[in-house]
Structure 1
Amino acid sequence: MHKSLLICALVIAGCARVENIGQAPKFTPVQSNTESLAMLTPGLPMRAEPESPLDQASLWDGGRQSLLGDRRAVRRGDILTVVIEIDEKAEISNSSKRSRKGSESMEIPNLLGIPQRFDPKLPEGASLGSAVDLSSSSNSGGDGSVKRREKLTLRVAATIVDVMPNGVLAIEGSQEVRVNFELRELLVSGFVRPEDISRQNEITSDKIASARISYGGRGQITDVQQPRYGQQVADIFLPF
């Protein structure tokens, strides 16, 4: 029974990898994600539409389609550009050292003549003259160093998927690039303020609250670099 369950588990785990044999990984469908849903169900208009076609043709109209209109993303389904620029460097170094040494010695060469009377009866080399002689020493040292460097520069289009009651915009964006048999995937999500969006309809990643940025991939190269499931399980349970 246990062997059958183990074989079934291995077969199921292997079937997920069979579809990538000899072909590139498939793209994620875009019709069922939250971005496309936000575009299909736009929010309410921010203002009333012009009353006549003449108003729509005016160059001085404040609408989004006019020459001087504000084209920044503000409504559900609108698209803006997220500029991801991460250049972080952290370096921490700690060093500690401690040393201690102690020595205690007590001799009683003449204590009412007791050492002289008992020394002949003691084994050769033993004497009561040196009653106590103690010494101790300890040393400890520790060094620690942490170095980290991360640099990432990317641009991705994101969609406003919801408008919060306080006016904050919830955004989500995804991008997939396939090169040969490797698929690179970029995901970004978070909350932004409309006033932080520039006139170029862009926002930097440091102005995104609760930002979640993921840059990775899947394909033959990633598959080779990852350890097998059995090795990952063994690394968890083996104590050495």
Structure 2
Amino acid sequence: MMRIRLLALAAFLPLGACSTAAEAIRGPELAPVGYPAALVPREQAIMPLSASRDPNPGPAGANTLWRVGARAFFADQRANRVGDILTVNIDIDDQAKTINTSTSSRNSTLTAGVPHFLGLESSLGKVLPGGFDPANAIETASKTANTGSGAVNRSEKISLTIAAVVTTVLPNGNLVIQGTQEVRTNAELRQLTVAGIVRPEDISSANTIRHTQIAEARISYGGRGDISRVQKTPAGQSLVERFSPF
């Protein structure tokens, strides 16, 4: 049984090493939205347009402002169906400070003897080295000490706006949204990504929502290009620092 466990562990070790090596080279990946699993698709599904969503409504008739195929004046204009667009306001101003200190120590001693053992205690002296004392056959002593300290002081501030698309409507009416925005300047690409789950009632009348109202929120702000590549730690150095035992 132990041999089977060792073989199974040896089989999974290369997979774990590959995953760790890929993360060291490419950087950490965002986890998928987990309510339920794999809600955010990689590719957007193209939904057929209905007659009520005609992108090219006809001209207004005489003596009226109404256009054939246009949305109603008093209908809810907030996103509520797959393919609808809403605006996400990201305003992060977080600060975190943590200080931890731990100290531990331990002393232990053990003394054991066998002054009487079926009358064989005298015979043990002939087998064991000279000076054997049955009353003090075993004596051990150990001492350990550990001291650790750590501190975290972080400050993050991000103020961005991005348009997201409704990708799924859950059975309870909640909306799964996903949006990506890319801006390229010369050889540098800035990418902003947002995904998560929102309640229709949290969407404002202006069809906007705050990032604090997004459940399972996944917000990524970064880029790639010449400048990002120079600032990033080389892959070889990252691998050495991650797997070095010293």
Length-normalised TM-score, structure 2: 0.55
Seen in structure 2, the aligned counterparts of structure 1 residues 96 and 75 have a Cα distance that, compared at 3 Å, is: closer
What residue number does 2:163 align with? 157
Equivalent residue in structure 2 for 1:202, among 198, 208, 218: 208
Q: Are residues 1:191 and 2:207 paired?
A: no
Name the larger-Rg structure: 1
What residue number does 2:43 align with? 34
The 2-side partners of 1:220 and 1:232 are apart by 19
The 1-side partners of 2:225 and 2:87 are apart by 27
What residue number does 1:179 align with? 185
Report 1:83-232 matches (<5 A).
83-94=89-100, 143-232=149-238
CA deviation profile, 1:124-158 (whole Å, cap 9, x unmatched):
xxxxxxxxxxxxxxx99765422111111111000
Identity %: 46
Q: How many residues align?
A: 159
CA deviation profile, 1:60-112 (whole Å, cap 9, x unmatched):
xxx972333321011110000011111111112345789xxxxxxxxxxxxxx
Secondary structure at 1:166's aligned position in 2?
coil
Q: Which amino acid in structure 2 is aligned with residue 177 of structure 1?
A: V
Secondary structure at 2:172's aligned position in 1?
coil
CA RMSD, aligned part only?
Answer: 3.4
Decide whether the 8 Å contact of 1:58 with 1:66 is kept in 2: no
The 2-side partners of 1:160 and 1:190 are apart by 10
Seen in structure 2, the aligned counterparts of structure 1 residues 226 and 149 have a Cα distance that, compared at 3 Å, is: same
Q: Which amino acid in structure 1 is aligned with residue 90 of structure 2?
A: I
The 2-side partners of 1:44 and 1:233 are apart by 56
Seen in structure 2, the aligned counterparts of structure 1 residues 97 and 231 have a Cα distance that, compared at 3 Å, is: closer
The 2-side partners of 1:174 and 1:42 are apart by 23
The 1-side partners of 2:50 and 2:179 are apart by 18
Question: What runs of 5+ residues in structure 2 fail to find an aligned partner?
Answer: 1-40, 54-59, 105-144
What residue number does 2:139 align with? none
Q: Which amino acid in structure 2 is aligned with residue 188 of structure 1?
A: V
What residue number does 2:82 align with? 76
The 1-side partners of 2:171 and 2:147 are apart by 56
The 1-side partners of 2:103 and 2:244 are apart by 33
Q: Which amino acid in structure 2 is aligned with residue 231 of structure 1?
A: Q
Decide whether the 8 Å contact of 2:52 with 2:70 is kept in 1: no
The 2-side partners of 1:44 and 1:66 are apart by 14
Length-normalised TM-score, structure 1: 0.56
Deviation at 1:238, TM superposition (A): 2.0
Seen in structure 2, the aligned counterparts of structure 1 residues 220 and 66 have a Cα distance that, compared at 3 Å, is: same
Moved more, 80-89 or 64-73: 64-73
Decide whether the 8 Å contact of 1:42 with 1:75 is kept in 2: no
Seen in structure 2, the aligned counterparts of structure 1 residues 175 and 34 have a Cα distance that, compared at 3 Å, is: same
What residue number does 2:117 align with? none
Secondary structure at 2:228's aligned position in 1?
helix
